[in-house]
Amino acid sequence: MFIRSERLFLRPAWPEDRDEFLARIGHEGVVRNLARVPWPYTEQDARAFVEKPQDHRLPSLLVTLPGAGGARIIGGCGLSLLDGEINLGYWITPQEHDRGYATEAARTVLSLARALGHGRVVAHHYVDNAASGRVLEKVGFRRTGRVAERFSVGRGHASPSREHEVVFETPADCGGDDSMNRRRAA
């Protein structure tokens, strides 16, 4: 599965991406904000990721930035099952922060989730990572009111994590206020 957004190209990982992928995700500041990624992140971890088979209903995509000399990897974004629910996750390498890439990638994958027929998507961010919460709110997620301790493999312990959700009302493309029914948990 390949998706082009305004500035980005999202695609599956390939085995030849291993070294570049490892260089981009191999920062403690990235890994500590992801629930399932170990620290230190090793060559074996990168190999396992790039060789992992894709699930067409739960794609895991590299976020690349096209340019002269080819596209370079700047992050990852995808859908997964978490506690039985469709979950959106993303990361952007620190060198590319504050350029709107996380928002653009998350919005793109959220549109894909709707096209795949997912009616509800959740996302979580550690409370000490407020920037991630702002990204989620920009793309249409709303807080559910639930904050729970969520284990982070990279941190090696549980930390408070805030849950957000998007509920799709119709199969229309996401991104506009009238295309999503946003609800808050009571």
58 phi, psi to nearest 5 deg: -135, 65
To the question of domain 3-181 being in CATH 3.30.70.270, the answer is: no
Predicted TM-score of the model (pTM): 0.89
- Give me the residue spans of the domains in the chain: 3-181
Per-residue pLDDT 10s for the chain (186 aa) are 899 999 999 999 999 999 999 999 999 999 999 999 999 999 999 999 999 999 999 999 999 999 988 899 999 999 999 999 999 999 999 999 999 999 999 999 999 999 999 999 999 999 999 999 999 999 999 999 999 999 999 999 999 999 999 999 865 544 444 444 444 333
- CA-CA distance, 151 to 175, in Å (whole number)? 30
- CA-CA distance, 63 to 93, in Å (whole number)? 10
